[in-house]
Amino acid sequence: MTAPLIELINVTKRFGEKTVLDRVNLTILEGDITTIIGKSGEGKSVLLKHIIGLLRPDEGEILFNGKQLKSLTRKEQKSFKQQISYMFQNNALFDSLTVFENIALPLREKTRLDEDAIKSKVLAQIDRMELAEVTYKYPSQISGGMQKRVALARALVSEPKIILFDEPTAGLDPLRKNVVLSMIAHYQKKIRFTAILVSHDIPDVLFISNRVAIIDSCRIPFQGTPMELEQSENPVVQQFIKGQASLKDELTGLNTKQNIKKMFIREMGQVNRLHESFSVVMFTIDNLKQINEHIGHIAAQQIIQCLGTLIKDHFDTADTSVRYSQNEILMVLPHTGLNKAKQVLDELAIDLQKQEIFQAKSYPKACFSFSILSGLAEAGPGMDLDSLIEQALSHQKIIAHLECEKHGETA
């Protein structure tokens, strides 16, 4: 197993008579996105402040590369802090500084770059975050969503090794939430920093996470991969998942994985008992990574949102569909054979191709060819969901496509 980059061992923190963290153990692996989830007031932000060194534990140890933070020399502490960036919940932008100046601040404080180099880095980051139109405006003159992107740009501009995100999507609408999460995932892969997120945006944040930790009653009863979270039999985890079961994916309005799996089990019972068939459909947006990079994160999320809306419209329900991954939507269609499913799918494909997202004129600044694919599979006795999904993926065909003549690229 990879040695932990950061490790909390039996960390306890009290404020007066109130215990906020009680013998907390947490492992952060280098190069991962680790997300800490839990109800409000459970100590998630307090945990982050311990990691960055803003708070010290009353008991327990915090290790960085195997060494106790409190035993680091002054030089080592300075080096540690230079490797860390922090995106605050309330953005913490300076009202008296422009967008450019806010983003440039870490470079001026932590590096010895000259002004030309700083300007080049900041303007490049501004361009990536689609903030060019507000470069010299002040925080009070821009929207809350743009302020989030400015705070994210500031956290990324110095290319730190570790970034802590405290509720990075708080207060944003579903589209902007997914834009910010998409940006975090995109730049984490590009720069390879270690990310620690505090978030309550379930299930969206799970799509970008390598590891998840639940904080409950001042402790961490579970930490593991998102898949291990779904499969855990820990009663605290089960209670947490059930508490989220009624939530839908905000961006698309579709169902949760948990409910889709329950539906699949129920329908397979019908197949085995009554020999009734049903179908599954898997939709995939190809080149989503390139869409994020070449067209923009907002456009990428609008494509996902558009597909989710049309699926609800044509199949007349959101309860049988789920955002299965960042670029996939899965449908379970009860009492529906392949022929009927294909008929509705053909109608959806015609409507999808007419949407603005497939018009080159919708992307005047940059354009990139992409497609949406779909694949059908029919359930038979004894089949499991994974094998059905694999079958649907193997049968995928393009149902809508944008060919961008501007760059001559193909999907």
Do 314 and 357 reside in the same domain of the chain? yes
Domain boundary among 243, 275, 301: 243
Name the residue range of residue 19's domain. 4-243
Let me know: does 251 contact 181? Beta carbons within 8 Å. no
Three-state DSSP class for residue 63? strand
Domain annotation covers residue 408: no
Asked whether the predicted pLDDT for residue 180 surpasses 60, the reply is yes
Residue 175 lies in a domain: yes
**pLDDT at residue 102 is higher than 80:** yes
Final residue of a domain: which of 243, 268, 295?
243
Per-residue model confidence as pLDDT tens digits over 14-71: 999 999 999 999 999 999 999 998 877 788 889 999 998 889 999 999 999 888 888 8
Helix (H) or strand (E) holding 321: strand 321-325
Do residue 12 and residue 153 come from a single domain? yes
Distance, CA of 77 to CA of 68 (rounded, Å): 11
pLDDT at 201 over 80: no
Pairing of strands 370-378, 279-285: antiparallel
Residue 128 and residue 69 share a domain: yes
Per-residue confidence (pLDDT) for residue 411, from 0 to 100: 37
pLDDT attached to residue 408: 41
Q: Contact, 21 vs 43, CB < 8 A?
A: yes
Cα–Cα dist 250/173, whole Å: 9
How does pLDDT run across 299-356, given as a tens digit for each residue?
899 999 999 999 988 887 656 898 888 899 999 888 888 999 999 999 999 999 999 9
Q: 179 and 288: one domain?
A: no
Find all residues with CB under 8 Å of 254, minimum gap 6, and list them: 248, 308, 311, 312, 318, 321, 322, 323, 329
β-pair type (328-333, 370-378): unpaired
Choosing from 190, 220, 243, the residue where a domain stops is: 243
Across the chain, mean pLDDT equals: 87
Burial class (CB in 10 A: 0-12, 13-18, 19+), 49: middle
Chain centre to alpha carbon of residue 329: 15
The CA distance from 384 to 272, in Å, is 12
Q: Give yes or no for a contact between 23 and 10, defined as CB atoms under 8 angstroms apart.
A: yes
CA atoms of 341 and 376, how far apart (whole Å): 8
Residue 370 has pLDDT above 70, yes or no: yes
In terms of phi and psi (left: phi > 0; alpha: psi -120 to 50; beta: otherwise), the region of 153 is: alpha
Residue 388 and residue 273 share a domain = yes
- Kindly state whether residues 115 and 42 are assigned to the same domain: yes
* Token duo for residue 60: 């327990």
Whether residue 348 contacts residue 402, with contact meaning beta carbons closer than 8 Å, is answered with: no
pLDDT of residue 18: 93
Mean pLDDT of 120-133: 92
Q: Residue 322 — φ and ψ, nearest 5°?
A: -145, 140
Q: Are the C-beta atoms of residues 126 and 103 closer than 8 Å to each other?
A: yes
Same domain, 355 and 312: yes
In angstroms, rounded to a whole number, what is the distance separating the alpha carbons of residues 267 and 264?
5
Query: Which residues have CB under 8 Å from 365's CB, separation 6+?
Result: none
Does 409 map to a domain?
A: no
Cα 178 from Cα 64, distance rounded (Å): 31
Q: 297 vs 30, 130, 138, 294, 322, CA distance in Å?
A: 25, 9, 23, 9, 21
The verdict on residue 251 lying in a domain is: no
411, part of any domain: no
Q: Look up residue 362 and give its two tokens.
A: 């919708």
% helix, strand, coil for the chain, step of 5: 45, 25, 30
Read off the CATH number of the domain in which 20 is found: 3.40.50.300
**36 & 93 share domain:** yes
If asked whether residues 227 and 261 sit together in one domain, one would say no
Quick check: 131 and 146 in contact, CB under 8 A?
Answer: yes
Q: What backbone torsions phi and psi does residue 9 show, to the nearest 5 degrees?
A: -125, 110
Total domain count, the chain? 2
Q: Are residues 230 and 300 in the same domain?
A: no
- Calpha distance 210→208 (Å, rounded): 7
- Domain check: are 234 and 273 in the same one? no
Question: Cα dihedral sign for 254, 258, 264, 266?
Answer: negative
Q: What is the CATH number of the domain that holds 354?
A: 3.30.70.270
Q: Using an 8 Å Cβ cutoff, are 53 and 201 in contact?
A: no
Residues 193 and 262 in one domain: no
Q: Comparing 210-219, 255-264, 300-309, 374-383, which segment has the lowest mean pLDDT?
A: 255-264
Is residue 245 scored above 80 in pLDDT?
no
Confidence of residue 247 (pLDDT cuts 50, 70, 90): low
